[in-house]
Structure formats: structure tokens, C-alpha cells
Structure 1
Amino acid sequence: MKIEKKLRIGHMPYLNSEIFYIDLLPGLWDLSKAYPRQMSKLVKSGHLDCGPLPVVEIFELEDILIPLDNFGISSNGPAKSVCLFSNLPIKELRGKNISLTSQSSTSVKLLKLLFSTFWDVLDIQYVDESYPHDAILLIGDNALKQKDNLSYKYVFDLAEIWKQMTGKPFVFARWVYRKDTDQKLVKKFSESLSFSVEQSYAQSFQNIINKRSSVYMNENEVKEYVSNFVYMLGDNELQGMKLFRQMLAQNSII
């Protein structure tokens, strides 16, 4: 008996990615939960075929990847879930310890870019999450849970500051697949992905609200949050993505 090949799809567990999965039609694909940096490694090694990868990882792996239509995650202003939480004003962070998330390299490089070009604050000491620190970069649901925590005096939304600096939206992730992936399966999966996105818009995100409302985000907050993102990248989003890549290169941020 012939065993049908299945696509191995990365499942990003963040709330702002729920739109892609919540009404995904069944098909020849299996989902594997993975956070951004981990997902990139799995796609690179061939253990996953497809997923919403952080844009920085796409820049580095572009020789083996193809965009999956224009599916992605972008914010044209505050994202609310990629934030620097600090006990000090930005200018007073010179020479201080800043803890970096281990989940995504895109947000880390965006933060470094903002410090060097927008804020002009140098000599930052970047440490991992286990070290004592004066500020911490959090992303995804961890940032959402932290937003009402009064243990930090200042909250800086990186996408909002990028918008102020460049006038462009910031693209956090884009759906891509490996070049050696079965094209027929990719086409079928793309149709299912499109259906899931369309269903959420048709229901005004009520499907996501019902599933993801919690003690740290009520129904209105969930709706406001998920409706804030752009999930189909247009020319403006792609220009913002290109500009981010150019600025990383110009400032030697690796």
C-alpha cells in the first residue's frame, strides 16, 4: 500500500498566528509546534517543509526558500507583543544589561538597530534571560502577559518605533516553503491557509476570540490585538521588509 507524502508544517503558537491555523482544512499535512528561531532551524535542516519564518531567518536562508503567496505577519504601528520593558528611560540604558528573548532573532536585530540608529545609545550589554538586567525584550504571548505588570516603569513597542523612524510597516514573519517541497501539496495547503484567514475575517475574529480569550486578555482585547495585524503582505509591507534588510546591512548588525 502506497503511503501518501505529507507536508510538515510549522505551527507558530502565538496569538497573532492563530488566524492561520484555527480553521485550517484537513489535508495531507501535519503540524508541529515551534517557536520562531526553532522553526527556522527545523526548516533549514529539512525536518519541516513550510511555516511562518522570522524575516531575518528568511534573509539568511533565501537560497532554499520560496515565499508562500503573500501570507505573513506585519504591523503598521504598535504590535503590542514585541516590546522592550525597562526600569530606565532609553537614554539611561547606555552600558546597562538588556535581556534578550531566545525565541526570535528578528526582534533582537530590530532592537539593536533601533538602539544604534534611532536612539543613538551604544555600549549596551546584551545578556540572556537568566542574567540580572535593567530591561528585557519580550515577544509574543509573553509580552502580552507582561503588559499590565507594573514591575517595569517603561514599555517600548518596537514596531511602533520602527514606524516612527521609517514610515513603513514592520514585517515580523512570512510564510515560506523549501524549494524541494512537492508543489501540488503546497498549492493545496495554500488554499487551506487562505480559507482559514478568510474565515476569521468573515467572523470578525470571533472564532479566535472564543478560543484565546483568557485571564490576561479579555474578548475585546483579543479582537483589537489580532485585527491590528496585516496577514497578507502588500507592496508597502514588502518595501518595509526590504528596508529592514538594507538597514541591517548598512549598520553591520548580524
Structure 2
Amino acid sequence: MTSSLANAPLRIGAVSYLNTKPLVWGLRERLGDRGRLSFNLPSRLADDLHTGKLDVALIPSVEYLRDPSHRIISDAVIGCRGPVWSVRLLSRVPAAEIKRLALDEGSRTSAALLQILLWEIHGIRPEIVPFAIEQTPEAIDADAMLMIGDRAMHPAPRCYQEIWDLGDRWCRWTQLPFVFAMWVAREGVDVGDLAVALEASRDQGMESLEEIASREAAAHGLTNEDLYRYFAENLHYTLGPEERTALDEFRRRAVSLGLVPETNALNHTP
């Protein structure tokens, strides 16, 4: 059974983190009765897309790589071309000595990215333990932890020997940008002209960063200036040729560690 903007409303899921705000600026109004927009954690969006609870979702790039039937339907993405600020490794020991690693359950892409970087930079594959959304870092029994999203954007205590910004580490290690999430549709779903709405919302969001920052900053314990700079300088919202190359390179490295299956060429629609 297919979905279409011409008949049943598309079920569309977006990430609930701050980094998504410019992508969905005015999107609900643009969709009207053509689609229903909901929000959740990246990992849960991927699960709902896989099980058919959603037709389109902004999912972690590693989840896109794990299912060759999915297709990218827009050039509106969440990426970075340097430090990303909201994806960090906090290590209580030197990174080369990490034996037990807690991975934030919110994003599987960042988990895969960190495992790739630890292997390629230090040649280590630590034991993996979960880091639940409701847990605090102090409650985690691990040498290091991956922290993502809004809770990663505040200063870390001095107890950590190393702190990595994963966007910065990847970009300097590979000389490529990184793509954390993209709009993806399930196989057989007719999205009609949804890409037009997604890209128009992204474009309007980029023109409205000051307004978004002033609306969201205080509730997240950030200054307007800090949040504006996060949107404008730490994040990149367009899937260009370099981002496509970066996705292919991320896939190659993830395959080599068994983090995603070997598949054919990526399914880039736009």
C-alpha cells in the first residue's frame, strides 16, 4: 500500500532536538492536510519508519545505510563541516585506554561514528554499554560515554581527561563533512512534492535563525547568541556533492567494522 500527498496524509516524523528547528520551521503549516508531523528521538523515528508507522522521517544516516530500500527524498539534511558541539565523547581515561564505552541511545549514527573514530585513530573496539536518555553521566559505569543532542551542549565537569567533538574529529580525520540525518521515505511511498515543502521550510528556517534562537535559547539554558551560532556555524543543512561523498565514505568505513551491511550504491533521489 502506498501513501500519497494526493490522498491519505503522509505520516512524517522529525527529530525532537534543537538541531532540527531550522529544518521544520513552518513545515506543519506548509503541509496542511497533506501530512501529519510528529517528533521523536532519531533512533525511534528509524524504528517507526522500518515498521511502517511512519511514511517519511528524518532518520540517522546510519539507519539509512542499513536499509537499501529507503531513499533520500530531499537535499535538506542535518550535517556539519567542522565542530558540531552537540555530539561529544566524554572520557574519564585517555581515549586510547577506553575499555568500556556507554553509547547514548538517542542516535545510532553518532554511536557508529564514534566506534569508527576510536578504531581508526587508536585501534580499539571497547565493550559497549547503554546510556539511557533518563540517566545522568555520573550514574554510568564506563570509562567514557557518548553524549548527543541538547544535553551535550552544556559544559562538562573537569573529571574528564578527554573530550571529543565528533564532528570536528571526523572532518579533520577525513577532510570531509559529515551527515547526521536526512529525510528518508519508505519503499513504495509516493511523497509527491513533499521535497518542495521540506526544502522551503529549511530555507525559511535559515533566514529566521535569530528568531528561532530567541524563541528556543532560554528553555535550553543557552544564550540567544550561542544558539544562533550553533545553527549558523556548527550545523550545515544542505546535501551537496561533498556531503554525498562523505556519506559514501561513512558507509565504507562502517561496513569495514560490520556496523552496516554491504549494499549497493546509495539511493540518492534529489
**Could you state the TM-score of these two structures normalised by the residue count of structure 2?**
0.84
Q: In structure 1, what residue type is equivalent to 2:129? A: V
The count of corresponding residues between Structure 1 and Structure 2 is 243
Match of 2:210 among 206, 209, 212: 206
Unaligned runs of 5+ in 2: 1-5, 132-138, 261-270
| Cross-structure match for 1:21 | 24
Match of 1:161 among 158, 161, 169: 169
Q: In structure 1, what residue type is equivalent to 2:148? A: I
Q: What is the rounded CA distance, in whole Å, between the counterparts of 2:175 and 2:195 in structure 1?
A: 30
After superposition, where does 1:75-94 map in structure 2 within 5 Å?
Answer: 75-93=80-98
Q: CA deviation at 1:77?
A: 0.8
| Cross-structure match for 1:172 | 180
- Residue 47 (1) aligns with residue 49 (2): no
Q: CA deviation at 1:15?
A: 0.9
Q: CA deviation at 1:217?
A: 1.1
Q: CA deviation at 1:103?
A: 1.2
**Could you state the TM-score of these two structures normalised by the residue count of structure 1?**
0.89
Unaligned runs of 5+ in 1: none
Deviation by residue 1:146-170 (Cα, 9 ceiling, x = unmatched): x344453431011111112110011
| Cross-structure match for 2:252 | 246
Q: Check whether the contact 2:74–2:198 (CA below 8 A) recurs between aligned residues.
A: no
Q: What secondary structure does 1:152 align onto?
A: coil
- Residue 36 (1) aligns with residue 42 (2): yes
Q: What is the rounded CA distance, in whole Å, between the counterparts of 1:6 and 1:149 in structure 2?
A: 46
| Cross-structure match for 2:142 | 133
Q: What secondary structure does 1:40 align onto?
A: helix
| Cross-structure match for 1:152 | 160
Q: What secondary structure does 1:117 align onto?
A: helix
Q: Check whether the contact 1:85–1:155 (CA below 8 A) recurs between aligned residues.
A: yes
Q: Check whether the contact 2:109–2:180 (CA below 8 A) recurs between aligned residues.
A: yes
Deviation by residue 1:58-79 (Cα, 9 ceiling, x = unmatched): 011221x221121211111111
Q: CA deviation at 1:180?
A: 2.1
Q: Check whether the contact 1:84–1:157 (CA below 8 A) recurs between aligned residues.
A: yes
